[in-house]
Amino acid sequence: MKFPRNARIFRGQLDASPFVGVLFLVAIFLLLNSSLVFVPGVAIKLPEAADLPGVIGPTITVAVDSNQHFYFRNQIIRENDLQVALRKAALETKERLTLMLLADKTVSADTLVQLAKLARAAGLREAILVTRTTAAPARTKSPQCVCPNPNR
């Protein structure tokens, strides 16, 4: 049995409208993808430092943003309420707590000292400024081969 061959090679012009339509759809998806996603939280830019030791034991965290607002347990809190909350947290824990300060780069030293005093009044004895590790330096030279045979 012989089947008829109806397939012919297309030699005409391509219609550009389907390609343009798909291109516009992709552009709309890319634009909406970035603008509709809400990232919750407060932007805090930590100072950078390298080779600092970590903390052993229980910690409690207080964040300070660039507008000098305090955040404790993911909530904005006033200074007086923060001292009460820190005292309550220190009494709830039998071990010694360490206060971890997540302070923005722009926060003044006076605010950090004030927060450390507040923590000491609440019964915390240690306060540590949290930093971000520095990025690895870029390689400027290409790696060299160290070969045991100098003739290579």
Is 23 a member of any domain?
Answer: no
pLDDT digits (tens, 9 = 90+) for 36-93: 667 777 778 878 887 777 788 888 989 999 888 999 988 999 988 999 999 998 888 8
- The domain in which residue 75 lies consists of 48-133
pTM of the model: 0.61
Distance (Å, whole) CA 51 – CA 16 = 58
Overall average pLDDT of the 118-130 stretch: 87
Identify the CATH number of the domain in which residue 67 sits.
3.30.420.270
Percent of the chain having pLDDT more than 70? 85
Number of helices and strands in the chain (H, E): 3, 7
How far, in Å, are 23, 78, 103, 111 from residue 69 at the CA level?
45, 8, 10, 10
Is 79 a member of any domain?
Answer: yes
Residue 24 has pLDDT above 90, yes or no: yes
Is 4 a member of any domain?
Answer: no
pLDDT of residue 137: 57
